Homo-oligomer: A and B are copies of this chain.
Amino acid sequence: MRPRIAFLGLGLMGAPMARRLAEAGTDLVVWNRSREKTVPFRNIARIAETPMAAARETDAVFLCLTDADAVEAVVLGPAGLAEAGQLKRIVDFSTISPDRTRIIAARIAEATRAAWIDAPVSGGVPGAEQGTLTIMAGGVAADVEAVRPLVAPLCARFTHMGPVGAGQVTKLVNQIISGCTIAVVAEAIAFAEAAGIDATCLTEALAGGFADSAPFRLFAPRMAARDYSRPIGSSRLMLKDLDAVLEAGRKVDAVLPMSSLAAELYRATARYGLADSDIAALIEVLSGDAGKRN
Contacts and interface: CB of A to CB of B under 8 A. Distances in A.
A74 interface: no
Interface residues of A, number: 67
Given A194-B249, A201-B161, A255-B187, A173 B206 contact: yes
A261 interface: yes
Given A169-B192, A184-B184, 13 more contacts: A136-B205, A161-B198, A162-B197, A176-B187, A184-B258, A187-B256, A194-B253, A195-B248, A209-B214, A210-B213, A255-B286, A257-B261, A261-B261
Copies in the complex: 2
Contact of A181 (B123, B181, B189, B261): B181
A216 interface: yes
29 contacts: A134-B205, A156-B208, A157-B205, A157-B207, A162-B198, A169-B192, A169-B195, A169-B197, A170-B205, A173-B188, A173-B189, A174-B209, A176-B187, A177-B206, A177-B210, A180-B180, A180-B258, A187-B256, A187-B258, A191-B245, A191-B248, A191-B249, A191-B252, A191-B254, A195-B248, A195-B254, A209-B214, A213-B216, A257-B265
